[in-house]
Amino acid sequence: AGKGKERKPLSLERTKGSEILFGVAPCWLALAQARRALFRLFLKQSRGSGRPLRGEFALQAAARGVPVLPVTGRELDTLCRGRPHQGVCLEAAPLPFKSLRDAEEPQLGDGESGSRQLLWLVLEHIQDPMNLGALLRSAYFLGVDRVVASNRNSCPLTPIVSKASAGAVEVFDVYGTDDLQGFLKAKSAEGWEVVGTVSRPGDVEDVPVISCSEFRWDKPLIVVIG
C-alpha cells in the first residue's frame, strides 16, 4: 500500500513586524477585544476533548475575519519557541504602550462623598516580562484604575508579558511616559498622594515610612513600584 501524501511543512513567513501570542487566555482576549491587528490563528489538530474550545476559537476568528490554520503541536512549538501554547497561537501586531497625551483626565473622587478614591500604579524600569505580566495581572484583578510605565529601560508588552498577565494586557490599557519623574511631580501638585513600598523601614533614609495598616487613603493615590 502506498503512503499518503506527506504533510507540507507550515510556512512560517509572517507579516512584517508581527509577533506570536500563545496560550488560551491571551489569544482569546486578543481576538475578543481586537485592540491590535490580527493576522492568523493557529489551532492544534486533535481528536480529543479540546474540540469545543477550538470551535469557539474558530467562530471568534471568523467573526473578526482572521484566517484559521490547523497545525500540529510541533508546529505550534516552533511558532512560540517551545513556550506553553495550550494548543493555540495567534499572529498579531505588537501592542504598544498608550500615550498619556491621549488619556482622558480622570474625575477625582471625594472620599467624604462615599465614592472610591482613584488608584494608579506606576512601574519604573520593570525589565523582566514575567514580573511585568504578574504586576499587570494583579493590578487588573485588584481594580487598579490606570497603569503608567516608564518608556525607557522597561520591558515592552511582549507575548510573554501577555501570557504572564493571563491575558490582562489585552483588556487593560497600559500607558507610557518618557518623563516619569515629571509626571509624578505634576500629579503630586494636583493633590495626588505618591507612595512607594519598602520591605524594611531601615532600607530608606530621609523618607517617612509608615505601616500599611496605619496608612489613610483619603486622596487619589499613586503607588510606585520599580
Q: For residue range 69-112, what is the model confidence (pLDDT) as tens digits? A: 999 989 999 998 889 898 999 999 999 999 887 777 766 654 44
Cα–Cα distance measured from residue 98 to residue 24, given in angstroms and rounded to the nearest whole number: 24
Is the domain of 171 the same as that of 82? no
Residue 141 lies in a domain: yes
- Determine the pLDDT at residue 10: 58
188 assigned to some structural domain: yes
Least confidently predicted of 110-119, 127-136, 211-220: 110-119
The answer to whether residue 33 scores a pLDDT higher than 60 is: yes
Same domain, 131 and 170: yes
Query: Does the structure show a pLDDT above 80 at 117?
Result: yes
Residues 193 and 155 in one domain: yes
Q: Are residues 164 and 206 in the same domain?
A: yes
Do 76 and 119 belong to one domain? Answer: no
Domain match, 54 and 129 both: no
Does residue 81 sit in the same domain as residue 136? Answer: no
Which pLDDT score is estimated for 205? 61
Domain membership flag for residue 9:
no
Contacts of residue 128, defined as CB under 8 A and 6 or more positions apart, other chains included, come to: 155
Question: What is the band of 4 on the pLDDT scale with cuts at 50, 70, 90?
Answer: very low
- Give the per-residue pLDDT at 204: 57
Choose the final residue of a domain: 39, 60, 92. 92
**Buried b / exposed e across 112-121, counting CB within 10 Å, b at 16+?**
eeeeebbbbb
Instruction: Give 160-219 pLDDT, tens digit per residue.
Output: 999 999 999 999 999 999 999 999 999 999 999 898 876 565 555 666 676 766 667 778
Which position has the grid cell 491587528? 37
- Contact yes or no for 31/58 (Cβ under 8 A): no
Which domain does 51 fall in, by range? 19-92
User: How far is 13 from 107, CA to CA, in rounded Å?
Assistant: 47
CATH of the domain at 217: 3.40.1280.10
Q: What pLDDT shows up at residue 168?
A: 96
Same domain, 118 and 78: no
pTM, two decimal places? 0.82
Q: Are residues 120 and 220 in the same domain?
A: yes
Structural domains in the chain (count):
2
